[in-house]
Chain A
Amino acid sequence: MVDLNTYLIIGAILFSLGMFGVITRRNGVAVLMGVELILNAANVNFVAFARFGGMDLTGHVFSLFVIILAAAEAAVALAIILNIFNNLGTVNIDEANQLKQ
C-alpha cells in the first residue's frame, strides 16, 4: 500500500509548503526555513527512487551531498541576514529595498 507514489506525494506536499513559505514570508529567517523544507522534499524523492527504482545507493550519496550543501547554504544565508539586520535594523526582506531608491 505504501509505495513510490506515497513518498512522491509527500515530497510534493513538502515542496509546495516550502514554496508557499518562501513566497509569502516577510522575515528572512522564515524564508530560510521554507528553503530547508524544499531541500528536504528533494531528498525524500532521491531516497524514494533509490529504494523503489531497483537501483544502487547513488540516490543516498546524492542526498548526502544535498545535506552538505544545505549546511553551507544555511551558514552563509544567516551571515547575510545578520548583516542585513546590522545595516538596516530589520530582517524583513521586503524592506531591504535600498537598490530601488
Chain B
Amino acid sequence: MTGTSFIFWIVALLTVGSAAGVVFSKNLIYSAIALLFSLLGVAGLYVFLWADFIAVTQILIYVGGILVLIIFGIMLTHRITNVQLSHSSIQRGVGGVIVLVIFAGLSAMILNAPWHRSPAIEPLETVREIGRMLMINYLLPFEVASILLLAALMGAALLSRKTD
C-alpha cells in the first residue's frame, strides 16, 4: 500500500466515522464538532479527486460559514446554562431498517452498473477552467444563483426579526 492510498483511507475513515458521530452522538455540540471533521474529510476527498478549487470552497463555505451558522443556531435555541444539550432520537429501529435497505440498494447498483470510465488527464489549472465555464457555459445559472443568495439573505433576515 503506497503512502498516498494510506492517507486516502485515513481521510475516508475520518469522513465516514465523523458522519456516524453526527447522527449517533447524544450531545448536540458533539454532533456539530463531528460534522466539522466530516466536512473537512470531504474536502480531503476532493483533493484526492484533483478538485482543489472545490476543496477550498468546501472549507470556506461549509466549515467557515454553514457550521458556524449551525452552532449559532444551537446556541440561540437552547439555554446556555443547560450544559448537556442532549438530543434524543425517535424510531431508531424503523429508520435503521429503511436506511439499511436504501444503502443495500445503492451499493448493489454501484457495484453492478457498467460506469463509463476513461483514463482521465490531470487538469493543469482547475480554477481557470471553472471560471471560464461559469462565465461562458453557465452564465445564466450563475446569475440566478446570485439572485437566489440575495433572496435567501433577505428572507432569513426578515424571518428572524422580531415582528413587534
Contacts of A64 in B (CB 8 A): 54, 57, 130, 134
CB pair A47–B133 under 8 Å, yes or no, is: no
- Distance (Å) between the CB of A35 and the closest chain B CB? 10
Of chain A, the residue at the smallest CB distance from B105 is A12
CB pair B148–A69 under 8 Å, yes or no, is: yes
Judge whether B98 is part of the interface by a CB distance below 8 angstroms.
yes
Q: With A and B bound together, what is the CA distance between A74 and B152 in angstroms? A: 10
Judge whether A96 is part of the interface by a CB distance below 8 angstroms.
no
CB pair A40–B149 under 8 Å, yes or no, is: no
Q: With A and B bound together, what is the CA distance between A18 and B20 in angstroms? A: 9
Number of chain B residues close to chain A: CB under 8 A: 81
Q: With A and B bound together, what is the CA distance between A27 and B61 in angstroms? A: 23
Give the residues from 20 to 77 in chain B that come closer than 8 angstroms, CB to CB, to chain A.
Answer: 20, 22-23, 28, 31-32, 35, 38-39, 42, 45-46, 48-51, 53-54, 57-58, 61-62, 65-66, 69-70, 72-74, 76-77
Contacts of B38 in A (CB 8 A): 14, 37, 40
B-side binding surface: helix, strand, loop or mixed? helix
Judge whether B95 is part of the interface by a CB distance below 8 angstroms.
yes
Residue from B16, B19, B28, B69 within 8 A of A27 (CB atoms): B28
Residue from A43, A52, A56 within 8 A of B42 (CB atoms): A43
CB pair B70–A54 under 8 Å, yes or no, is: no
CB pair B98–A71 under 8 Å, yes or no, is: no
- The range of chain A's interface size is 35 or more
Judge whether B83 is part of the interface by a CB distance below 8 angstroms.
no
Q: With A and B bound together, what is the CA distance between A10 and B118 in angstroms? A: 21
A interface with B by C-beta (< 8 Å): 1-2, 4-10, 12-21, 23-30, 32-34, 36-37, 40, 43-44, 47-48, 50-54, 56-58, 60-61, 63-65, 67-76, 78-83, 85, 91, 94
> Other CB < 8 Å A-B pairs besides A26-B88, A71-B149, 18 of them?
A2-B8, A4-B115, A13-B16, A17-B99, A23-B94, A33-B70, A40-B38, A43-B54, A47-B51, A51-B120, A53-B117, A60-B126, A61-B133, A61-B134, A68-B148, A69-B145, A72-B153, A74-B69
